[in-house]
A and B are shown apart, each in its own frame.
Chain A
Amino acid sequence: MAEVFHPNIPIYLQLIESVKRKIVSGELSPGQRLPSVRDLAQTYEVNPNTAQRALAELEREGLVYSERTAGRFITNDGGLIEMTRTELAKEQIENFITEMQRLGFTNEQLLQELEQKLKKEERQDERK
């Protein structure tokens, strides 16, 4: 099943993001071989040149490395993966804060809401 892309954001950027998420979440594990450009393009239903561009960028960032004939692999650099995780998390937090501020929440209110929600979830987990 193809991922849904936002048509107004460059697709190669969204592709990069998607692969990063998979690396960070462990869906793609360190040292794992990536599918070929063509396969990747087909999985995501995008143009192979777009897939190529995304992979080249991931390679430039060091998250992916290529071996001449064997293909492309996920990095074994745990530190880099951890850094990427932090980066992605930071983006999410920033988005969350911006949205909450737009809704008129002050920082204290925002924290309160967050705490309440987390506590509620904990209680629900305990009940299970």
Chain B
Amino acid sequence: MKENNVPSAVIKNLTKSYGGFTALRDVNLVLPKGKIIGLLGPNGSGKTTLIKILTGLITNYQGEVLVEGRPVGADTKALISYLPDRNYFADWMRARDAIFLFSDMYADFNGAKAFQMIDRLGLNANQKIKSMSKGMIDKFQLCLVMSREAHLYVLDEPLGGVDPAARDFILDTVLKNYSEDSSVIISTHLISDVERIFDTVIFLKQGEIMLCDEIDTLREKTQKSVDQLFREVFKC
């Protein structure tokens, strides 16, 4: 089934500074295929910077970043399905307009799947996105992002604004729609809600990788949940 064993992403000696402030310091990571990876860290630890570099939104950095073996750039953008931490739709758009927009923009987008998903969510394709609640918009965006057949899904805080039932829906959607040939990176603060779906977790602290391990190995070693471990490592 697998065509190759090139990792979804490889990051070598990545450093990123904003003026005098170092947001990421000598980060090295290999993200294998078919994994769900939790990117965890307190506010300001560099999660979003790392995500923006992976997705090609930040281009001035030191080090090497490869997606599917190719340097991040115009041709890797097509491989990544990115859920940003904010809403980017124009005010006039209805749900279906956004779906058509995605169909035009991405060759790997499955419009029928997106319509099915929003239907299951009880969303109306004719509703204006502007008039949806925050949680509804979050769910809608996730539907769009997961309706692509991408190589790498990057979800920046997908759970922030939604209620626990919707969280379950979102996790379920992620589990159902990623494949063995793709990886999913999820950054989140709500660790206890999602830790059951991760393969691997990465702890970022002040721009450095504190820990990167398989989650069940961690549980075995520490006898702790990731949530507990996080609270200990990042104790204020």
CA distance A9 to B215 in the complex (A): 10
Flag B29-40 by CB within 8 Å of A: 1 or 0 each: 000001110000
What 8 A-B pairs come out closest when comparing CB atoms? A7-B225, A10-B216, A8-B225, A10-B219, A8-B224, A47-B197, A49-B199, A10-B220
A7 touches B197 (CB 8 A): no
* Cβ 8 A contact of A11, one of B36, B176, B196: B196
A41, A47, A48 — which one has the most chain B CB atoms within 10 A of its CB? Answer: A47
Chain B interface main SS type: helix
Number of A-B contacts (CB under 8 A): 53
Question: Smallest distance from the beta carbon of A101 to chain B beta carbons, Å?
Answer: 21
Of the stretches B41-49, B66-74, B153-161, B167-175, the one at the interface is B167-175
CA distance A9 to B199 in the complex (A): 14
Q: How many residues does chain B have at the interface if contact means C-beta atoms less than 8 Å apart?
A: 26
Interchain residue pairs with CB less than 8 A apart (17) = A7-B192, A7-B195, A7-B219, A7-B226, A7-B227, A8-B224, A8-B225, A9-B223, A11-B196, A42-B172, A42-B175, A45-B175, A47-B196, A47-B197, A48-B175, A48-B180, A53-B216
CA distance A101 to B196 in the complex (A): 33
Tell me the A residues contacting B by CB distance below 8 Å: 5-13, 41-42, 45-50, 53
Tell me the B residues contacting A by CB distance below 8 Å: 34-36, 168, 171-172, 175-176, 180, 192, 195-199, 215-217, 219-220, 223-228
Beta-carbon nearest neighbor of A5 in chain B: B196
Residue numbers in B under 8 Å from A10 (CB-CB): 216-217, 219-220
CA distance A5 to B226 in the complex (A): 13
